[in-house]
């Protein structure tokens, strides 16, 4: 098989909102290039980049999928990313690994929440963008309305390179505004020819706008434009390439991936308009800790970064690599410079969804995969030991929601841990840990759906069944006013006694400040060696709270005075005195309960907004903003975590399964008094029950 060099490659991330047809578009592009015998359908698992059982069952993309096609002697590597917001890290990784981005929109819905997120990802990495208005055959599809939403959001640099011939059921092709010709599909056959008469005037007008935009970016082209009144195709195409690469023009295409209309022109655009990886640069850190620049070049020392890890129950761990420099051989040994360990390759292959095409080597600029690396994880850098470099990893967002997890069968604890470790290798945004405060094991993810998918994979892949419970809410306690307190420990039992005395002040601190200890002892009232014991005594008891057993936070303790005895004082005595002073302070400082408040972003069809707003109000939610689209509304609100433990099921019920949400921790806030009483009473009841057990 031919080994492609960087100028013959294109690496394209395919991203966008959920249900806009990204995976179907990738399948159509592969079919148009002859890489597959049929386009494929996500519903029956025949799409090359959606082959996971959970993806097929749920009819959504969950994982980053990689596939390639050869078109006009150029290999295009497609990185197909999920559209649901909870899987944003996959889209982020796809854009980081690619050199260009196809942002797919729905012709009915236009710009949506995830559209804007992936646009920002592309801007973060400086990637050129082409928009594809997909599903032009849908009822109420409108290219003009979608263009309006694009212009409103991203400005005049978003420029159509096509206009549709017909819409909805009448959609049958496109008009090419660069070459000024039409590309129609009739009875399954493609037909290229002149522009239909009814569209010629509009096409001429849009062509002139395009020419002006391209001419604006180059002084030489501007002179030609002024002298000729237009630009020839020979000048227009190179100028367009330059402006797209410089992120000064963002072209728009239109298509119906399910009907295979407009697909080949998008494939042409990937080859003609997107840049190759040749000469691209990324930042890294060298052996001496100083910044280095890694340029995509076949001549340098080998450098690659792991884009994605897949844990396959049969093939083992599969690592997808973006080769940044040099060559990698299929049987070579390379150095994981992120972990300082060697890794032996046992074959390289080009991913074609779940199929693999073996290759003897991979060159700079390519996206390939290698199986069964022992230590390497997502984000790690592979290079040569003599010239190590470490490329920066992407930041993995913190999970938004956690569930308590326990095995369905006794004795499966070790199996759960092993299986979850493999899932986390594949999806670093999952977390599995023991909560030292509640003594529960928690599985955390971006949403309830995210956690449920992980649990389903545990069962299907590894035969491990678990039970999920809503986690205990991590309440906190704090004080609301200043107070002075006194702690004295005196005990005489024969021989040496125990004596320590300390006086403290307590005062509230801002949210998030946790705890601060200040020593203001003067004149030796307490010897220096005993002062840390006072702090230790307070630290130990504050973690057990005062009202309901939750950690006491956001307060300062000032040690102001005390007494000691030459013989009877000790570290233990002052530790006990500190704890007694803390308890005295809490009696006076008006302690209160704090609850975690989450930022929730809900996306749902417009007809459910009223019910959703009412439900948020019943959960003590505070709406921060709303953004309405053609069919869908995004609601952003602040809601206490305790009110959201079962929100996923309620959202599905309200929206008939058509809504989604994402949570992020915002801040801690005081719990209303009436609810505090219930929490405190429940805590005391649980403590009594535990003591009686």
* 261 and 373 co-located in one domain: no
In a domain, 206, yes or no: no
pLDDT tens sequence across 224-255: 777 777 777 777 888 899 999 999 999 999 99
In a domain, 232, yes or no: no
Residue 188 has a pLDDT of: 75
Whether residue 43 is predicted with pLDDT greater than 60 in this model: the reply is no
- Assess contact for 140 and 180: CB atoms under 8 A: no
Q: Are residues 263 and 285 in the same domain?
A: no
Q: Looking at residue 655, what is its pLDDT?
A: 87
pLDDT at 620 over 90: yes
Pair 564, 646 in one domain: no
573 and 484 in a common domain: yes
Residue 407: name the closest of 419, 416, 398, 399 by CA: 416
**Average confidence (pLDDT) over 441-449:** 79
Q: 257: pLDDT confidence band, cut at 50, 70 and 90? A: very high
* Choice between 68 and 186, residue whose per-residue pLDDT is larger: 68
- Same domain for 49 and 188, yes or no, is yes
Interaxial angle between packed helices 647-655 and 609-618, expressed in degrees from 0 to 180 and rounded to the nearest 10: 150
Of 640 and 492, the structure prediction assigns the larger pLDDT to 640
Q: Determine, yes or no, domain membership for 492.
A: yes
Distance CA 440, CA 432 (A): 11
Residues 602 and 630 in one domain: yes
Final residue belonging to a domain, choices 343, 373, 391: 391
Q: What CATH number should be reported for the domain holding residue 665?
A: 3.30.70.240
Which range among 56-60, 200-204, 408-412, 468-472 shows the weakest confidence by mean pLDDT?
56-60
Domain span at residue 350 reads 281-391
The answer to whether the beta carbons of residues 541 and 583 sit under 8 Å apart is: yes
Question: What is the structure's pLDDT at 559?
Answer: 97
Helices assigned H by DSSP within 337-494: 413-426, 448-462
Please give the Cα distance from 662 to 219 (Å, whole number): 47
CATH number at residue 567: 3.30.230.10
In a domain, 214, yes or no: no
Residues 35 and 167 both lie in one domain: yes
- pLDDT tens across 105-139, in order? 999 999 987 898 899 999 999 999 999 999 999 99
The Cβ-side half-sphere exposure at 313, using a 13 Å CA radius, reads: 12
Same domain flag for 571 and 617: no
CATH label of the domain that carries residue 134: 3.40.50.300
Same domain, 553 and 421: no
pLDDT of residue 437: 60
* Whole-prediction pTM: 0.74
Q: Are 287 and 388 a contacting pair, CB within 8 Å?
A: yes
Give yes or no: residues 524 and 621 share one domain: no
Most confident of 160-164, 282-286, 443-447, 456-460: 160-164
**Stronger pLDDT, 285 or 58, i.e. the higher one:** 285
pLDDT of residue 177: 95
Cα R_g (the chain), whole angstroms: 31
With a pLDDT cut of 90, the percent of the chain lying above it is: 60
Region 635-641 average pLDDT = 94
Give the least confident one: 43-47, 338-342, 648-652, 657-661: 43-47
Residue 332 pLDDT: 94
Rounded Cα–Cα distance for residues 107 and 60 (Å):
19
Which string of DSSP letters, residue by residue, matches 9-69? Answer: EEEEEEEESTTS-HHHHHHHHHHHTTSSSS---GGGT-STT--SHHHHHHTS--S-EEEEE
Helices (H), 286-430: 413-426
Determine contact, residues 67/353, Cβ cutoff 8 Å.
Answer: yes
Q: What is the pLDDT of residue 525?
A: 93
Total residues belonging to the chain:
693
157 CB neighbour count, 10 Å cutoff:
14
- pLDDT at 223 (0 to 100): 79
Which of 556, 589, 622 corresponds to the end of one domain?
589
Residue 133 in contact with residue 105, Cβ under 8 Å?
A: yes
Q: Is residue 40 in some structural domain?
A: yes
Q: What average pLDDT does this structure show over 162-190?
A: 92
Does residue 533 lie within any of the structural domains?
yes
User: Percent of the chain at pLDDT above 70?
Assistant: 95
Q: Nearest Cα to 170, choosing from 141, 146, 204?
A: 141
Mean per-residue pLDDT of the chain: 89
Residues 487 and 584: beta-carbon distance below 8 Å: yes
H or E segment and range at residue 575: helix 571-588
310 and 387 share a domain?
Answer: yes
CB–CB of 631/682 below 8 Å?
no
Residue 613 is assigned to a structural domain of this protein:
yes
Tell me the CA distances in angstroms from 258 to 170, 281, 296, 298, one per residue in order. 14, 36, 36, 39
pLDDT greater than 90 at residue 57:
no
Helix extents (H) in 468-570 = 531-542
Extract the runs of DSSP E, i.e. beta strands, from 123-166. Answer: 129-134, 158-160, 162-165
539 pLDDT band, cuts 50/70/90, is very high
Of residues 286, 337, 363, the one with CA closest to residue 9: 363
Given pLDDT bands bounded at 50, 70 and 90, which one contains residue 400?
A: low
Both 177 and 268 in one domain: the answer is: yes
The region of weakest confidence among 161-170, 458-467, 478-487, 668-677 is 458-467
Q: What is the mean pLDDT of residues 175-203?
A: 92
Q: Domain for residue 688, yes or no?
A: no
Task: Write the CATH number for 355.
Answer: 2.40.30.10
Total structural domains within the chain = 5
| Residue finishing a domain among 549, 570, 589 | 589
Confidence of residue 153 (pLDDT cuts 50, 70, 90): very high
């Amino acid at each position: 098989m031919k080994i492609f060099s960087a100028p013959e490659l294109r690496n394209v991330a395919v991203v966008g909102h959920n249900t806009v047809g990204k995976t179907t578009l990738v399948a159509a592009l592969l079919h148009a290039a002859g890489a597959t015998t049929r386009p494929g359908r996500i519903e029956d698992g025949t799409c090359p980049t959606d082959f996971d059982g959970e993806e097929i069952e749920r009819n959504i993309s969950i994982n980053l999928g990689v596939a390639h096609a050869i078109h006009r002697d150029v290999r295009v590597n497609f990185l197909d990313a999920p559209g649901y917001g909870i899987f944003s890290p996959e889209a982020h990784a796809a854009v980081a690994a690619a050199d260009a981005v196809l942002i797919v929109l729905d012709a009915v819905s236009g710009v949506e929440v995830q559209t804007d997120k992936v646009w920002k990802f592309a801007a973060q990495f400086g990637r050129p963008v082409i928009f594809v208005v997909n599903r032009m055959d849908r009822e109420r599809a409108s290219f003009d309305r979608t263009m309006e939403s694009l212009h409103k959001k991203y400005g005049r640099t978003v420029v159509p390179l096509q206009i549709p011939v017909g819409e909805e059921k009448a959609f049958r092709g496109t008009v090419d505004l660069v070459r000024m010709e039409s590309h129609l599909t009739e009875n399954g056959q493609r037909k290229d020819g002149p522009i239909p008469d009814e569209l010629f005037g509009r096409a001429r007008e849009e062509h002139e706008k395009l020419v002006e935009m391209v001419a604006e970016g180059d002084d030489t082209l501007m002179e030609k434009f002024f002298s000729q009144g237009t630009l020839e195709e020979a000048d227009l195409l190179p100028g367009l390439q330059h402006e797209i690469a410089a992120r000064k023009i963002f072209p728009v295409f239109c298509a119906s991936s399910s009907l295979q209309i407009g697909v080949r022109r998008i494939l042409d655009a990937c080859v003609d308009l997107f840049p190759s990886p040749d000469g691209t640069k990324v930042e890294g850190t060298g052996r001496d800790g100083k910044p280095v620049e890694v340029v995509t070049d076949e001549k340098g020392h080998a450098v690659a970064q792991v884009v994605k890890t897949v844990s396959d129950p049969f093939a083992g761990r599969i690592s997808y690599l973006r080769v940044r420099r040099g060559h990698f051989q299929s049987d070579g040994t390379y150095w994981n410079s992120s972990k300082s360990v060697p890794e032996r390759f046992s074959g390289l292959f080009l991913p074609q969804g779940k199929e693999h095409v073996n290759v003897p080597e991979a060159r700079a600029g390519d996206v390939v995969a290698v199986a069964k690396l022992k230590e390497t994880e997502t984000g790690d850098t592979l290079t040569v030991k003599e010239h190590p470099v470490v490329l920066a990893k992407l930041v993995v967002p913190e999970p938004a929601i956690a569930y308590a997890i326990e095995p369905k069968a006794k004795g499966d604890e070790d199996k759960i841990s092993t299986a979850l470790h493999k899932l986390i290798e594949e999806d670093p945004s999952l977390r599995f840990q023991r909560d030292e405060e509640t003594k529960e094991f928690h599985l955390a993810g971006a949403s309830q759906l995210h956690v449920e998918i992980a649990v389903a994979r545990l069962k299907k892949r590894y035969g491990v069944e678990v039970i999920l419970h809503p986690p205990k809410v991590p309440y906190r306690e704090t004080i609301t006013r200043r107070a002075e307190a006194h702690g004295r420990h005196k005990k005489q039992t024969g021989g040496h006694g125990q004596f320590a005395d300390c006086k403290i002040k307590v005062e509230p601190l801002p949210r998030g400040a946790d705890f601060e200890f200040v020593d203001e002892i003067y004149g030796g009232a307490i010897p220096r060696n005993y002062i840390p014991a006072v702090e230790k005594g307070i630290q130990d008891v504050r973690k057990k709270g005062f009202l309901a057993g939750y950690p006491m936070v956001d307060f300062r303790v000032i040690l102001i005075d005390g007494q000691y005895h030459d013989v009877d004082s000790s570290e233990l005595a002052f530790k006990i005195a500190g704890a007694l002073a803390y308890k005295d302070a809490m009696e006076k400082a008006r302690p209160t309960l704090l609850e975690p408040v989450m930022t929730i972003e809900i996306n749902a069809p417009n007809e459910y907004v009223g019910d959703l707003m009412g439900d948020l109000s019943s959960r003590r939610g505070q709406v921060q903003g709303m953004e309405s689209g053609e069919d869908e509304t995004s609601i952003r609100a602040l809601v206490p975590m305790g009110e959201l433990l079962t929100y996923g099921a309620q959202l599905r019920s309200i929206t008939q399964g058509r809504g989604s949400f994402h949570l992020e921790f915002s801040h801690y806030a005081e719990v209303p008094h009436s609810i505090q009483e219930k929490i405190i009473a429940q805590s005391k009841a649980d403590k009594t029950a535990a003591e009686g057990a």
